[in-house]
Amino acid sequence: MDLTKYQVFLKTVECGSFTAAAQQLSFTQSGVSHAISGLEEELGVTLLSRSRGGVTLTADGWALMPYIQEICRQQRSIEERAKDLQGLETGVVRVAVFTSVSVQWMPYILKSFRKQYPNIEFELLPSNYNTEIARWIQDGTADCGFLVLPTEANLDCWLLQRDQWKAIVPWDHPLAGREPFPPEALTQYPFILLEEGDDYEIQEVLDTLGVQPNVQYRVQQDQVILAMVSCGLGISIMEELMLDRNEYPVVACSFAKPFYRNIGICVKDKRAISRSTYRFVEHVRRWVLEKYSG
pLDDT at 84 over 80: no
Cβ pair 113, 120 in contact under 8 A: yes
The 8-class DSSP code of residue 243 comes to G
pLDDT of residue 119: 87
Tell me the whole-structure pTM to 2 decimals.
Answer: 0.69
Give the chain's mean pLDDT: 90
pLDDT at 249 over 90: yes
Q: How confident is the model at residue 221 (pLDDT cuts 50, 70, 90)?
A: confident
185-195 confidence digits (pLDDT tens): 999 999 999 88
Q: Taking the C-alpha atoms of 109, 110, 112 and 113 in order, what is their torsion angle to the nearest 10 degrees?
A: 110
Cβ pair 125, 136 in contact under 8 A: yes
Q: How confident is the model at residue 201 (pLDDT cuts 50, 70, 90)?
A: confident
Nearest by Cα to 173 from 157, 161, 188: 188
* Spatial distance between the Cα atoms of 196 and 203, rounded to a whole number of angstroms: 9
Q: How confident is the model at residue 114 (pLDDT cuts 50, 70, 90)?
A: very high
Q: Report the 10 Å Cβ neighbour count for 86.
A: 9
pLDDT of residue 1: 53
User: Strand 144-149 relative to strand 120-126: parallel, antiparallel, unpaired?
Assistant: unpaired
Cβ pair 240, 258 in contact under 8 A: no
Structural domains of the chain ordered from first start = 4-82 (1.10.10.10), 161-261 (3.40.190.10)
Lowest-pLDDT range of 32-36, 106-110, 167-171? 32-36
